[in-house]
Amino acid sequence: MLLYIECKMGAAGDMLMSALYELLSDAQKRKFVDTMNSVFGNDVQIQPETKSTCGINGTHIHVLALDAEEGCDSQGSASHNIDSHNTDLHNTDLHNTHSHSAALCNPAMSQDNSHGVHMDDYVVLDHDVHTDCNKHNHHENTIHHGHSHEHHHYSYQSVRHIIEHLHIDDEVKTNAEKIYEIIGNAEAHVHNSTLENIHFHEVGSLDAMADVVGCCLLFHYLKPDQIICSPIHVGNGTVRCAHGILPVPAPATAEILKSIPYYTGNINSELCTPTGAAILKYFTSSFSNMPPMAIQNTGYGIGNKQFDTANAVRVFMGEKYTEQNMDKSNVYASDEILEISCNLDDMTGEELGYAMDVLLEAGALDVFFAPIYMKKNRPAVMLSCLCKTEDRDKFTDLIFKHTTTRGVRYADYTRAKLNSAFEEIHTDAGIVRRKISTGKNVKKAKLEFEDLRKIADALDLSIADVRKLVRD
C-alpha cells in the first residue's frame, strides 16, 4: 500500500497529524483519540474537529497543552491579544495558574522515579521563541493565551526521557525519539553546538511532542508499504527572532530539508516547520510528483491560516500501479524527466556527433539536434539532452565539457509511457530480442535492430531477410 503526502501548502505537525487521522476507520479514530488523551495524562489533550478551507472539508486536530505556545503574527511577532482567543477551544481548567516540577527538564532530577514519568510533574514552558530564535509555531495554527508561564528549556536528553516513559508502543517511541534526533542535530548545526548541549524551546514543548508522537502513532496504525512526498512548499517572507529578522525557511528547517526538494512560492508565511520537516524526512522514502495510483482513501489536514489557496496537507492512500497491473488500468505509466538544452553555432558536425555519442553512452534517455537561427541570422543547432532529473549535474558537466556552450537551460517534463519488457527469440541464426511495450489497452512489439544487424553481418543477409527468418 502506498501513502502519498501532498505538501503544496507546507508541512506543519498538526496539519500532518490531522490529514493522516482522516485515513483511519471510525474505530481507529476513536482509538487514536483515546490513546493520545491518555498517554500524556491531563497535560495534553487533543480535540479533532471538522474544518474547511476554500470550500473543502477536512479535519483540524487542536492540541491543548498546559505549556501551550504563544501565538505569532504573520511575521512571527508574539501575539497576546485576549480578545482574539478562540474561547470555544479553551478549557478554563487547563489555563488556570499552575506550577510543575522541573524534574522532566533534567532526567538526572527524576532518577528516583524508576517506574515512569508522571505528566503532572511537567514543567510549564513559555516557548514563544524557537531554538533557532525564530518566533514561529510548530503548529500552523495559533492558540493565544491571556497569561504567561515560567520559562523553562527542554534539553534533548529530557525530551528523550519524556518519550521513553510514555505508555505507548515501543515502535512509536523509537520513531519519535529519532525524529527529535533529526531536529536536535539540525539545531546543533545551526548554533555550532552539540546534540547533548542544545535546549529546545518551541519544538520541545508538550504540544510539539504530541504532534510528533501522534504522527508516529498514525503511521503505526496505517502501516503503509511505501511513503512518497511531494516537493515541499516552505512559504516565503521573514520571521522575527530575538536577534533580528530571518528569512523563511527558518535556519533549523532549512538544515533539516537538505537534500529534500522544496520551494518558496509567493505566500508570505512560514508554511513548513522544523517538526513537520523532520517527520517527513524520517518517514518518507522519496520526494517526487505523485505516481499513478488507484486511490482508496484521501485525507485533508486543515490549518487555521486563511490564504487564497486551500490551506491543507492532503494525503492519498492506495495501490501504486506496477508493470503487472498497468495493462488492466485506465492510465499510462509516468515519470519525471529533465531536458537540458543549449544553442551552438561554432561546432562542426563531427564535434556535435561526438558530443551526442558521449551523452548517450553516459545514459541519456535521448539526445537530438534541431536547426535554428540565432541573432544576426546565424545558422546554428539546438542540442537537447533528455535525462532523469537526478542526473542533472552529471549531464550538465558533460555538455559544458564537450560543447562550446557557456550556458544551458532546464525544463522539467512529466512523461507518459508504456511499460516495456524484453523477450528472447531463439533462431538457427542466433538470439533476437523483442521489446514488448504495454499500457492501458495498448500492446506493441519490436525486434531489436542491433540483434538483426549482427545476424545480417554474420550471414551476409539483408535486414529484411533476417526479419523474415525470425518471423518464420
Quote the pTM value: 0.59
The 10 Å CB-count burial string (b at 16+, else e) for 80-99 is eeeeebeeeebeeebbeeee
Mean pLDDT for back-to-back runs of 10 residues, the chain (472 residues): 94 95 96 94 91 94 70 35 31 35 37 35 34 44 38 73 92 96 90 78 72 96 95 89 75 92 90 94 92 89 91 93 60 84 96 97 97 94 95 96 97 86 84 86 89 92 89 72
H and E: helices and strands count for the chain: 11, 22
pLDDT, residue 348, reads 96
pLDDT at 153: 54
Q: Among 140, 74, 134, 173, which Cα is nearest to 255's?
A: 134
> Domain boundaries in the chain?
2-320, 333-416, 419-471
Q: Which residues contact 450 (CB under 8 A, 6 or more apart)?
A: none
pLDDT of 157: 87
**178, containing H or E segment:** helix 170-190
What's the CATH class of domain 333-416?
alpha beta
Neighbouring CB atoms inside 10 A of 228's CB total 21
| pLDDT at res. 334 | 77
> Rounded to 10 degrees, what is the CA torsion of 128, 16, 280, 117?
60
* Sign of the four-CA dihedral 348, 354, 358, 364: positive
* Residue 14 CB neighbour total at 10 angstroms: 31
Q: What is the pLDDT of residue 203?
A: 55
Residues in the chain: 472
Please, what is the Cα angle at 49 between 48 and 50, to 5 degrees? 135
Q: Is the peptide bond before 249 cis (omega within 30 degrees of 0)?
A: yes
DSSP H helices in 362-459: 392-402, 449-459
Using an 8 Å Cβ cutoff, are 58 and 300 in contact? yes
